[in-house]
């Protein structure tokens, strides 16, 4: 039997590897409190002065508020246990609600702000209480910066970078972070617009600044929706993580080669992986079953996010790996066509037959 000491080597990679998880609830709750406070302030100031730039901040904060509630709900629903109706759990709830928050809230907010901004730019109306508007938008800017600090603190706690967050499957935290970034940029645009109106008395500039904020909101919403769609449809593990899982399996002494690998994220911290593995021929059925169980423990121990692992033992006889220009490496009919190339490895000394045929297959992530 292979021991953990003999089968060593850490292989955790990627933004989501290991047991590190961003505490989404902390980020969302901080955003809820700050957005709730500044929505009321911005809306009152807009009602008093009529500035569309201030209105853009009020709309942005209330949509951030709604989006945060949706993301928090998705986090709770995604952690519900599996059931006969949902055998792989409900992790995709987090993807769905983050997708909805990004598309609906950003799009609705962007459309409303853009419409009001264009109306003010084309048909300028007098704007009053500009100094109060400046203070209010400045406070919103500080609020958004404070929310960003919370996200960055969580990333620092988990020893992650912003680029890792943007490349990760944590759509909820990513959406909130981008909300904060857009809010900061939007608040700066609104501050400039109100300042210009205060100095020049050109009311149409107030509408122009609001239109810029609305366009920014719409663009961010569509970008988040495009990425969120991939996770809902069924996105595979990142290639780097897929290679690491494959390398770990192929280091197992009783594995001759891996003929295929398929994967799918079923939640931010949950994935399904299917492996087609050719074990050493001299083993009987009981040996294969024992090594499948042991290999499953090794893989899930190294990659906690691989919670659903299916290992299918297959024979290599009669299956010849061939090149396919469209897919890189593929197998003969009946075998799964891998899409992640794997370089050949030298024969193992432990293989009594020299294992010259130990050409690695590959891995396919779908």
DSSP states along 133-180 = HHHHHHHHHHHHHHHHHHHHHHHHHTT--HHHHHHSS-HHHHHHHHHH
- Give the pLDDT confidence score for residue 121 in this predicted structure: 87
* pTM assigned to the model: 0.63
Separation of alpha carbons 138 and 63, rounded Å: 19
Q: What is the mean pLDDT of residues 230-234?
A: 86
pLDDT digits (tens, 9 = 90+) for 314-336: 886 444 433 233 333 333 334 33
Separation of alpha carbons 61 and 223, rounded Å: 19
- Give the pLDDT confidence score for residue 361 in this predicted structure: 38
Strongest mean pLDDT among 61-75, 97-111, 186-200, 309-323: 186-200
- Give the pLDDT confidence score for residue 283 in this predicted structure: 81
Q: What is the mean pLDDT of the chain?
A: 74
- Give the pLDDT confidence score for residue 25 in this predicted structure: 58
- Percent helix / strand / coil, the chain, rounded to 5: 55, 10, 30
Percent of the chain scoring above 90 in pLDDT: 10
**What are the structural domains, with CATH classification, of the chain?**
24-233 (1.20.1510.10), 239-363 (3.30.70.1350)
Give the closest residue to 60 by CA, choosing from 225, 193, 185.
185
Residue matched to tokens 């939640």: 267
pLDDT higher at 260 or 46: 260
Percent of the chain scoring above 70 in pLDDT: 74
pLDDT digits (tens, 9 = 90+) for 176-216: 788 778 888 888 888 888 888 888 888 888 889 889 988 98
């Amino acid at each position: 039997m292979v021991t953990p000491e003999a089968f060593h080597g850490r292989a955790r990679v990627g933004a989501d590897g290991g047991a590190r998880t961003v505490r989404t609830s902390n980020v969302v709750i901080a955003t809820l409190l700050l957005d709730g406070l500044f929505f009321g302030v911005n809306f009152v100031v807009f009602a008093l002065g009529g500035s569309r730039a201030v209105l853009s901040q009020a709309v942005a904060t209330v949509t951030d508020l709604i989006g945060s509630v949706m993301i928090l709900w998705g986090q709770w629903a995604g952690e519900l246990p599996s059931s006969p109706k949902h055998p792989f759990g409900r992790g995709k709830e987090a993807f769905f609600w983050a997708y909805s928050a990004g598309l609906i809230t950003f799009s609705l907010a962007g459309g409303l702000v853009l419409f009001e901004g264009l109306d003010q730019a084309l048909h300028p109306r007098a704007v009053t209480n500009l100094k109060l508007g400046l203070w209010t938008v400045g406070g919103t800017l500080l609020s958004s910066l404070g929310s960003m600090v919370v996200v960055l603190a969580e990333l620092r706690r988990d020893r992650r970078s912003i680029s890792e967050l943007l490349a990760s499957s944590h759509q909820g935290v990513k959406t909130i972070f981008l909300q904060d970034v857009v809010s900061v940029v939007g608040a700066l645009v609104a501050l400039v617009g109100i300042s210009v109106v205060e100095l020049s008395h050109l009311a149409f500039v107030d509408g122009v600044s609001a239109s810029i904020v609305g366009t920014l909101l719409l663009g961010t919403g569509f970008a988040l929706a495009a990425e969120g769609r991939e996770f809902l449809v069924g996105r595979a593990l990142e290639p780097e993580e897929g290679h690491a899982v494959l390398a770990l399996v192929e280091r197992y002494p009783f594995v001759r080669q891996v003929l295929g690998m398929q994967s799918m994220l079923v939640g931010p911290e949950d994935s399904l992986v299917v492996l087609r593995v050719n074990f050493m021929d001299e083993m009987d059925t009981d040996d294969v079953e024992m090594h499948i169980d042991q290999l499953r423990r090794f893989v899930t121990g190294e990659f906690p996010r691989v919670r659903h692992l299916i290992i299918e033992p297959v024979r290599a006889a009669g299956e010849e790996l061939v090149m396919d220009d469209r897919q890189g490496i593929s197998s003969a009919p009946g075998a799964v066509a891998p899409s992640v190339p794997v370089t050949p490895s030298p024969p193992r000394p432990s293989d009594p037959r020299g294992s010259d045929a130990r050409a690695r297959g590959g891995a396919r992530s779908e």
